[in-house]
Amino acid sequence: MGLTDGLRLDLVETNVTTATLTFLVIVLVLLAWHITSSFSRLAKVGVRHPPPLPFIGNLLYFHEGFWESHNKLISNYGPSCGYYIGRRMYIVISEPDMIKCILEDDFRNFRNRMRPDLVFKPFADSIVMLRDEKWEKVRSILTPAFNIAKITEMTPLIDEACNILLNNLKVSAESGTAFDIQRLIIEQLLMLLFQNSIKVAFPYIMIPLLRILPNKKRDEVNGFFISLIKNMITLRDQQDPNERRRDFLQLMLDARIPTTDIVMDQSDKVSQDDFPEALPKKQQMWLTDDEIAGQASLFLIAGYETSNSTLSFGSYLLATNPQCQEKLLQEVDDFFSKHDIPNYENIQELPYLDMVIAETLRMYPPAFRFTREAAKDCWVLQQKVPAGAIIEIAVGHLHYNPKYWPEPEKFIPERFMSEAMQQQHPFAYLPFGAGPRGCIGMKLALMTIKIALLRILQRFMFKTCPETQIPLQVKSHSTLGPQDGIFIKIVPR
């Protein structure tokens, strides 16, 4: 090869390298423009926000969780502020009047929750994930399944679970040592709300595993769960109706059968006026097996997290506020002097227990943030909201706003006396959401928590110990929970 040919080859290689580098630079510039061009949308509608980073937006702002970050965000940028995760735009609100507009007044425009990037079966078929007409259909079918008459049928099952729970607590009480009540207090309750065959490590082992398993293994676990539920459905269908276990799964199976004879409490009803394309009232609908599996997965995951956290936080607050616990113990003793077994009707006679649970949910709402998606451009009071924006309701910040809750860091159950609540803004307290898309299982959850706490305090009381963390540190990525568990002592009465 001559000198000329060598120079030509070097020139060609140089040109190829230059062209490749130029192409890569152009691609990176276009990609950066594509990513960052969306970062002007919040400013265009007058929403203040932290400066976003290319590609990730404000993701690092929430690296320690959302509980404290929400407080910092609202403190720095106002009660209507925002942020970006990737290209997705969020508008954070914490004012009750704006919340009312979104959850109730303009529900038709905000009926969907945020569409998650990744969601797998069976959870994809749960009422939390469903959108538009699919959600309307499932919600309409499920609503009668959660009326007072239906959930009252589950009280014997909850009582059975409480007996097992009390036996386990007795062991801890007799040992005299501190223990993590979060790991113990509700596991038996939730597993007994399903038929025995579903006790296969759900939820105590499987739920943490689902968070760390690779996709292939997670799909295998999800497939196993769906298969298990479908097998149980087949078994229940073969049983005599009088022999079927009255658990959560049976509520779902009963909902498959259309009926017009169910009497619902007024608060259980979902108005068709909320659904612009609602199905005809007389059209018969039923749940598919996949939809039943979806609700079962929601109950195990959401029920496990929220009920466990509420009972654990309630135990902690009573242990650290002995004067409140003593007042509650007097009410418990009075109750059991009149009744042998708690049920849905007689637990309504416990106003201070109601206040204790309500204040626990104010201070530690498990669902401390939730979202709605704007279907079209609109105005929420004086704030413009573009189509596609994700509205994030900062329940945690709302519950600690001194404008509505004086001395919010203090445990004061009397805030929820009927006279005080008549003066309170109805959208200043949202542990279960509100509006047509509020938590459908609220009555069942509160009944379970009340009966469990009532049965525990009949025999035991909570005490602090050197291992008790004061103040309690929380984790807040998906739901709210204790960072390092809740260590207390339980002593016989």
**Binding site membership for heme: which residues?**
439
User: Which residues define the annotated binding site?
Assistant: 439
Question: For residue 92, what is the enclosing H or E element?
Answer: strand 88-93
**In this structure, are strands 390-394 and 369-373 parallel, antiparallel, or unpaired?**
antiparallel
d(CA 297, CA 129): 12
d(CA 33, CA 24): 14
**In this structure, are strands 390-394 and 480-482 parallel, antiparallel, or unpaired?**
unpaired
Sign, Cα dihedral of 348, 350, 353, 354: positive
Among 332, 317, 289, residue whose Cα is nearest residue 493: 332
Q: Please enumerate in sequence order all residues whose Cβ is within 8 A of that of 394, keeping only pairs 6 or more positions apart, or say none.
A: 70, 74, 92, 93, 94, 368, 369
d(CA 86, CA 39): 9
Mind spelling out the 3-state secondary structure of 52-65?
Answer: CECCCECHHHHCCC
Cis peptide bond prior to 402, omega within 30° of 0: no
Question: For residue 390, what is the enclosing H or E element?
Answer: strand 390-394
Location of structure tokens 């510039």? 29
In order of 48, 110, 145, the CA distances from 390 in angstroms are 15, 9, 30
In order of 32, 83, 103, 429, 447, the CA distances from 426 in angstroms are 44, 27, 12, 7, 22
Beta strands (DSSP E) in 156-265 are: 179-180
Cis peptide bond prior to 280, omega within 30° of 0: no
d(CA 430, CA 422): 16
**In this structure, are strands 80-85 and 179-180 parallel, antiparallel, or unpaired?**
unpaired
d(CA 212, CA 464): 33
DSSP reduced 3-state for 262: coil
CA 64 and chain centroid, separation: 19
413 CB neighbour count, 10 Å cutoff: 23
DSSP labels for 360-379? HHHHS-SS-EEEEE-SS-EE
